[in-house]
Structure formats: structure tokens, C-alpha cells
């Protein structure tokens, strides 16, 4: 149980295009989902927290207009990187938790490469 999937697992796009990454909780309802970014050989940096049906809360320094997060249902959150540039290339990881549980379950990550 407690499986989180991400799609796609990797994506290559041209500079200036937008990319959408999906995060799904497969066997539980995720009241809260988190989006992280991980640079090579570094720790995870929390980008934003989203609760189902409400606007995401972004961490300081994260551009909300560039990284659009939607959490429209209890099993799906999406991260859209708008007008992507090479510096947006990174490993993006989502996690999810259910109400009443303090544990987060992580997706396998999405490798984004912007050419």
C-alpha cells in the first residue's frame, strides 16, 4: 500500500516550452502533496505544499508563476514548469500524505532536461 507514481519518469524539452508532471497516489487519498526539487548530489528542496482543492503554498524563492501546481483531486497533483529554461533541468520528486498520518510517501521522481 501507500504507492505514489509520477509521470513521466523522464522528459526532454526545448527551451521555452512548458512541461507537465503528474503525481498520483494509487491506493490512498492524499490530502496533502509536496513537490521537491533535487539538484545532482544534493538534498531535496521543498518547492511547495498543496492541499486538495486549495492553492499551493510556495516556499520562499520559488516562482509560483513559473511552477504551477494544481491539486484538483485527492489522488492527483500536477506540476507545470512554464517556459522552461536549461536552469530548470533537475530531478523533481513529489510526495503525498493522508489526513491523520505524519508520514510522507514519495514518488519515483521525474528527470527534466531542458535543451
Partner 1 sequence: GNSVTQMEGPVTLSEEAFLTINCTYTATGYPSLFWYVQYPGEGLQLLLKATKADDKGSNKGFEATYRKETTSFHLEKGSVQVSDSAVYFCALNLWAGSYQLTFGKGTKLSVIP
Asked if 97 interacts with partner 1 (CB under 8 A), we say: yes
Q: How far is CA 22 from CA 44, 60, 69, 71, 110, in A?
A: 18, 23, 10, 10, 9
Q: Tell which one of 55, 108, 113, 115 touches partner 1 (CB under 8 A).
A: 108
Omega before 8 within 30 of 0, i.e. cis:
yes
Contact call for residues 71 and 115 (beta carbons, < 8 A): no
Instruction: Pick between residue 5 and residue 15 the one whose CB is nearest to partner 1.
Output: 5
Contact segment (CB under 8 A) with partner 1 among 60-68, 69-77, 81-89, 90-98 equals: 90-98
Q: Tell which one of 7, 13, 28, 32 touches partner 1 (CB under 8 A).
A: 32
Amino acid at each position: 500500500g501507500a504507492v505514489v507514481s509520477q509521470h513521466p519518469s523522464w522528459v526532454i524539452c526545448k527551451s521555452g516550452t512548458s512541461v507537465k508532471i503528474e503525481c498520483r497516489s494509487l491506493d490512498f487519498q492524499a490530502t496533502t502533496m509536496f513537490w521537491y526539487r533535487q539538484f545532482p548530489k544534493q538534498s531535496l528542496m521543498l518547492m511547495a505544499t498543496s492541499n486538495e482543492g486549495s492553492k499551493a503554498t510556495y516556499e520562499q524563492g520559488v516562482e509560483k508563476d513559473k511552477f504551477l501546481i494544481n491539486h484538483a483531486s485527492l489522488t492527483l497533483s500536477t506540476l507545470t514548469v512554464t517556459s522552461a529554461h536549461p536552469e530548470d533541468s533537475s530531478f523533481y520528486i513529489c510526495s503525498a500524505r493522508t489526513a491523520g498520518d505524519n508520514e510522507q510517501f514519495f514518488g519515483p521522481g521525474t528527470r527534466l532536461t531542458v535543451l
